[in-house]
């Protein structure tokens, strides 16, 4: 590609020919975080502590100190996050190849199914049916699961019951298949976690984490605005913070889609 | 409690260096019989003291105690000249112990007396914030405060997207309002204070974050940090957000700000290594409570510390009995507020630790660490 094409691309972004869609939730203290049984260590929620706001602590400037876990808000999972990916090379957010941070996406709409069944599981036949309409999922593409879960109020979004969370996700077979047969670069969801709420009961447990990270692929979760993306043709920009040996990070996820000029 | 001569048994008041009867220096403070007779009463219409000038008219009296001394005392409105009274020492708005005379027998609406309410922090008619409605202690406290006549109980719930046990019952209670409050989050606390900080008369901090373990058996610091965030920093956030307005409202009529209640582990006083890091976080809160007490005192707002041993809750499930029922803690909170106390010990373990500490602190340290 010559520099001219790149400049054309920049021009298209500026003119709106290429539309930029923000797939990110605001990083705020009240955003639900993953809930583990309380005897396990917990993800720190987002905390924003003011250092100064044009006041005695800093007359001309406003700034905050932040605390949050690597897996809070809209966030990225690196292969090192799961035991299956622990020994892979370049498996942490600071070492993963930067070119992987920009890749196209296939968006599979399961919103109707998820609305009927909070425990909806994506299956191979479901994806094959999608491929009949939209073509085979190419290699090095993200697969994003649109469930419209991001439009819910926080309580329904977390959907915690006595036996844990009830949110949609992939089954084990489709995860293995997407990684091994389709060579996806990663898998993204609107829910808290790439796996379904009850995925601990699948075999293997948490198959999205198991197969994605075991195969050196990535996860994105707590995405929003997936309903604005076309089934194919969107380009995802997902660059996690360069945290030393980080297992993931909150990040701004952007989608580039064809727009009106 | 009055001075009593160890040599001749005479009760004395005010405190002296030698017995007025036999000059013995052996004068220990002991519980004295509380009955007396009201000799005379005086109503101050223009008190010289600026504090009481705002509160005039104010009745005081002279009581002859059956055990001997004569005391100048604040009077309950139902005390009559020549009648029998029961005496107690109360902490007034400045935290000073003062004598107070009640009628000998119960009278109608006795606790509503204006001068008595100045000495206490009775929840009746008052608006209360219970900071954590997720815990059983919090839920019991809400119920007990409502029963005690609180006009409204606001109850904080963090992470409202997370259901909790007892939620339906809490939502169904009349005069109880669930409010979003995550005391570990500075902004959440500030936001709630912006909404209701100006009408909180009693704040009951029911934060509960109990984890077992000391230093060496824990990996890393995240659990320790959680303890500090929830207990100590949560306390700081609450104090900074709600404290200033409460201090300003210490004499805001019937609904004046009256008290701040902390529930503390008795192991704040002496570390229990089985829950060692937790004990340390509680010790930090205890120290902070003394700071808060001093800072709220100019506004006439009491800080009440309720010390408990292990509670009968899940996080103490490995601890053998005796354990304190959450309802007992709630009862102790209300009782302390009604009586205007600064410090109460709930249950056998807490009382035992208190007594043993007074007798031999080093022995307590050794025994708890055994």
Same domain? For B352 and B316 the reply is: yes
Q: State the ipTM, two decimals.
A: 0.80
Angle at B185 between CA B183 and CA B188, to 5 degrees: 80
pLDDT interval class at B108 (50, 70, 90)? confident
Distance (Å, whole) CA B245 – CA B256? 11
The three-class DSSP label of residue A42 is coil
* Cβ neighbours around B93 below 10 Å, total: 20
B178: β partners: B155
Coil, strand or helix at B205? strand
pLDDT digits (tens, 9 = 90+) for B33-46: 999 999 999 999 99
Structural domains in chain A, sorted by start: 11-27+70-258 (3.50.30.50)
| Cα–Cα distance measured from residue B127 to residue B246, given in angstroms and rounded to the nearest whole number | 12
Q: Is the pLDDT of residue B252 over 90?
A: no
**SS3 assignment, position B283:** helix
Distance from CA of A30 to the nearest CA of B (A): 7
Cα-Cα-Cα-Cα torsion A166, B222, B129, B179, nearest 10 degrees, comes to -30
Q: What is the pLDDT of residues B56-88, one digit of tens each?
A: 899 999 999 999 999 999 999 999 999 999 999
- Give the mutation candidate from B156, B158, B159 for the A interface (greatest A CB count, under 10 A): B159
* Residue in chain A nearest B237 by alpha carbon: A49
> B254 and B277 share a domain?
yes
Distances A24 to A28, A131, A201, A218, B150 between C-alpha atoms, Å: 12, 27, 29, 17, 44
pLDDT at residue B63, rounded to an integer: 95
Proportion of chain B in helix, strand, coil states, percent, rounded to 5: 40, 25, 35
Task: Please give the Cα distance from B101 to A256 (Å, whole number).
Answer: 79
**Which structural domain, as residue segments, surrounds residue B219?**
127-368
Q: CB of B33 within 8 A of CB of B66? A: yes
Q: Are B104 and B134 in a shared domain?
A: no
Which residues of A are known catalytic residues? 81
A60 φ, ψ (degrees, to nearest 5): -110, 0
Give the model confidence (pLDDT) of A99-130 as tens digits. Answer: 999 999 999 999 999 999 999 999 999 999 99
Cβ pair A48:B163 closer than 8 A: no
d(Cα B110, Cα B124) in Å, to the nearest integer? 12
DSSP three-state, residue A157: helix
The CA distance from B155 to B192, in Å, is 11
Residues of chain B contacting residue A45, judged by C-beta atoms under 8 Å apart:
159, 182, 184-185
Chain B residues with beta carbon closer than 8 angstroms to that of A157: 161
Q: For residue B89, what is the domain's CATH number?
A: 2.40.50
Task: State mean pLDDT over A154-171.
Answer: 95
* Distance from the A33 Cα atom to the nearest Cα atom in chain B, whole angstroms: 9
CB A54 within 8 A of CB A63: no
Q: Which residue of A has its CA nearest to B186?
A: A49
Same domain, B183 and B259: yes
CB contact under 8 Å between B159 and A155, yes or no, is no
Is B227 in the same domain as B305? yes
Which residues, listed in sequence order, are joined to residue A142 by a DSSP beta bridge? A105, A186
Mean pLDDT of the A189-197 span: 97
Q: Which residues in chain B have Cβ-Cβ distances shorter than 8 Å to A30?
A: 159, 180, 182, 188
Same domain, B227 and B258: yes
Residue B63 counted as domain residue? yes
Are both B106 and B241 inside the same structural domain? no
CA distance A212 to chain B (A): 28
Mean pLDDT estimate for chain A: 96
In degrees, rounded to 5, the angle at the alpha carbon of residue A111 between the alpha carbons of residues A108 and A117 is 120
Domain assignment present for B38: yes
Distance from CA of A229 to the nearest CA of B (A): 28
**Rounded Cα gap, residues A130 and A120, in angstroms:** 16
Residue A18, number of CB atoms within 10 A of its CB: 18
Asked if A84 contacts A206 with a C-beta cutoff of 8 angstroms, the reply is no
Beta-carbon separation of A42 and B222 below 8 A? yes
Q: Are B200 and B258 within 8 A, CB to CB?
A: no
Is B56 part of any domain? yes
Q: Output the pLDDT for position B266.
A: 97
Question: What's the sign of the alpha-carbon dihedral A52, A54, A55, A60?
Answer: positive
**pTM to 2 decimal places:** 0.89
Shared domain check, B315 and B241: yes
Question: Residue B311: what pLDDT?
Answer: 95
Quick one: tokens of A191?
Answer: 């829910």
Number of domains in chain B: 2
B180 and B78 co-located in one domain: no
A198-230 residue pLDDT tens? 999 999 999 999 999 999 999 999 999 999 999
**CA-CA distance, B333 to B306, in Å (whole number)?**
7
Cβ neighbours of B159 in A, within 8 Å: 30, 32, 45
pLDDT at residue B253 greater than cutoff 80: no
* DSSP letter (8 states) at residue B176: E
State the pLDDT at residue A108: 98
Task: Round the CA-based radius of gyration of chain A to a whole number and report it.
Answer: 19
Mutate to test the interface with B, among A46, A47, A165 (most CBs of B within 10 A): A47
The token pair at B264 is 């503390």
For A221-247, b where at least 16 C-beta lie within 10 A, e where not — what string? bbbbbbeebebeebebebbbeeeeebb
Q: Which of B115, B143, B173 is the last residue of a domain?
A: B115
Q: Which residues pair with B263 in a beta bridge?
A: B306
Nearest CA in chain A to B222: A41
Pairing verdict, β A75-77 and A248-250 = antiparallel
Question: Could A49 and B186 be called an inter-chain contact, meaning their C-beta atoms sit closer than 8 Å?
Answer: yes
Q: How confident is the model at residue A261 (pLDDT cuts 50, 70, 90)?
A: low
- Contacts of residue B161 in chain A, CB cutoff 8 Å? 32, 153-155, 157-158, 160
Q: Looking at chain A, which residue has its C-alpha nearest residue B224?
A: A41
Same-domain status, B298 and B165: yes
Residue B41: which of B13, B67, B72, B86 has the closest Cα?
A: B72
pLDDT at A88: 97
Domain end marker among B59, B91, B115: B115
Shortest distance between the Cα of B230 and any Cα of chain A, in A, equals: 12
Same domain, B89 and B156: no
> What tens digit of pLDDT does each residue of A241-259 get?
999 999 999 999 999 999 8
pLDDT in tens, B124-136: 999 999 999 999 9
Range scoring the smallest mean pLDDT among A240-249, B113-122, B268-277, B359-368: B113-122
CA–CA dist A213, A187 (Å, integer) = 10
| Residue B321 is assigned to a structural domain of this protein | yes
Last residue of a domain, one of B91, B115, B139: B115
CA atoms within 13 A on the CB side of B21: 15
- Res. A171: pLDDT tops 90: yes
Answer yes or no: do B174 and B139 share one domain.
yes
| Rounded mean pLDDT, B261-284 | 96
Domain holding B180: CATH number?
Answer: 3.40.50.720
Interchain pair B161, A50: CB under 8 A: no
The Cα–Cα gap between A23 and B297 comes to 51
DSSP-assigned letters across all residues of B127-154: EEEES-SSSHHHHHHHHHHHHTT-SEEE
Position B106 scores a pLDDT of: 87
CB contact under 8 A, B182 and A44: no
pLDDT of residue B370: 86
Report H helices in chain B: 50-55, 114-119, 136-147, 167-172, 186-196, 222-227, 234-248, 276-296, 326-339, 347-359, 361-368
Distance of alpha carbon A199 from alpha carbon A210, whole angstroms: 11
Q: What is the mean pLDDT of chain B?
A: 94
Task: Tell me which chain B residues have a C-beta less than 8 angstroms from the C-beta of A41.
Answer: 220, 222-223
Asked if residue B326 belongs to a domain, the reply is yes
Q: DSSP string of B69-91?
A: -EEEEEE-TT--TTSEEEEEEEE
Residue with tokens 């509160």: B55
């Amino acid at each position: 590609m010559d520099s001219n094409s790149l400049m054309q691309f920049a021009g298209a972004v500026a003119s709106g020919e290429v539309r930029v869609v923000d797939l990110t939730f605001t990083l705020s203290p009240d955003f639900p975080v993953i809930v583990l049984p309380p005897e396990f260590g917990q993800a720190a929620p987002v905390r924003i502590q003011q250092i100064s706001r044009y006041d005695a602590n800093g007359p001309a400037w406003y700034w905050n100190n932040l605390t949050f876990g690597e897996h809070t808000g809209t966030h990225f999972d690196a292969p090192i996050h799961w035991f299956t990916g622990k020994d892979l090379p370049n498996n942490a957010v600071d070492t993963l190849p930067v070119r992987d941070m920009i890749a196209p996406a296939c968006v599979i709409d399961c919103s109707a199914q998820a609305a009927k069944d909070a425990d909806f599981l994506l299956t191979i036949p479901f994806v094959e049916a999608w491929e009949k309409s939209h073509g085979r999922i190419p290699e090095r593409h993200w697969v994003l699961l649109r469930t419209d879960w991001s439009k819910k109020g926080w309580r329904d979004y977390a959907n915690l019951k006595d036996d844990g969370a009830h949110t949609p996700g992939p089954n084990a077979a489709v995860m293995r298949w997407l990684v091994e047969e389709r060579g996806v670069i990663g898998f993204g969801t609107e829910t808290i976690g790439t796996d379904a709420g009850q995925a601990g009961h699948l075999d293997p447990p948490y198959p999205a984490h198991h197969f994605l990270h075991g195969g050196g692929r990535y996860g994105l979760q707590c995405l929003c605005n997936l309903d604005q993306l076309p089934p194919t043709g969107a380009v995802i920009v997902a660059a996690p913070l360069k945290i030393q040996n980080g297992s993931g990070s909150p990040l701004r996820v952007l989608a580039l889609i064809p727009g009106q000029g | 409690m009055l001075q009593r001569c160890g040599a001749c048994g005479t009760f004395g008041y005010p405190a002296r260096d030698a017995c007025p009867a036999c000059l013995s220096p052996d004068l220990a403070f002991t519980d004295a019989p509380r009955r007396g007779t009201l000799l005379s009463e005086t109503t101050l219409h223009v008190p010289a003291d600026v504090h009481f000038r705002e509160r005039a008219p104010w009745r005081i009296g002279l009581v002859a105690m059956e055990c001997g001394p004569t005391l100048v005392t604040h009077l309950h409105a139902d005390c009559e000249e020549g009648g029998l009274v029961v005496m107690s020492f109360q902490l007034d708005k400045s935290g000073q112990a003062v004598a107070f005379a009640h009628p000998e027998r119960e009278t109608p609406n006795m606790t509503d007396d204006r001068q008595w309410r100045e000495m206490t922090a009775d929840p009746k008619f008052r608006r209360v914030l219970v900071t954590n409605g997720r815990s059983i202690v919090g839920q019991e406290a809400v119920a007990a405060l409502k029963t005690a006549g609180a006009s409204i109980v606001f109850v904080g719930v963090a992470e409202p997207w997370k259901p909790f046990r007892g939620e339906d019952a809490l939502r169904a209670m009349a005069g109880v309002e669930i409010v979003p409050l995550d005391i570990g989050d500075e902004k959440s606390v500030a936001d709630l204070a912006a909404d209701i900080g100006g009408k909180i008369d009693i704040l009951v901090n029911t934060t509960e974050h109990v984890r077992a373990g000391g230093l060496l058996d824990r990996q890393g610091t995240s659990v320790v940090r959680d303890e500090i965030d929830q207990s100590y920093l949560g306390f700081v956030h609450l104090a900074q957000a709600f404290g200033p307005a409460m201090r300003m409202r210490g004499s805001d009529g019937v609904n004046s700000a009256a008290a701040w209640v902390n529930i503390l582990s008795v192991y704040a006083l002496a570390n229990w290594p089985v829950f060692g890091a937790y004990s340390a976080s509680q010790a930090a809160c205890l120290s902070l409570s003394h700071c808060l007490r001093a800072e709220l005192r100019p506004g006439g707002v009491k800080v009440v510390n309720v010390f408990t041993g292990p509670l009968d809750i899940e996080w103490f499930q490995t601890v053998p009995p005796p354990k304190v029922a959450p309802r007992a803690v709630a009862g102790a909170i209300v009782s302390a507020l009604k009586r205007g106390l600064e410090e109460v010990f709930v249950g056998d373990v807490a009382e035992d630790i208190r007594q043993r500490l007074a007798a031999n602190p080093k022995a307590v340290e050794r025994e708890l660490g055994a």
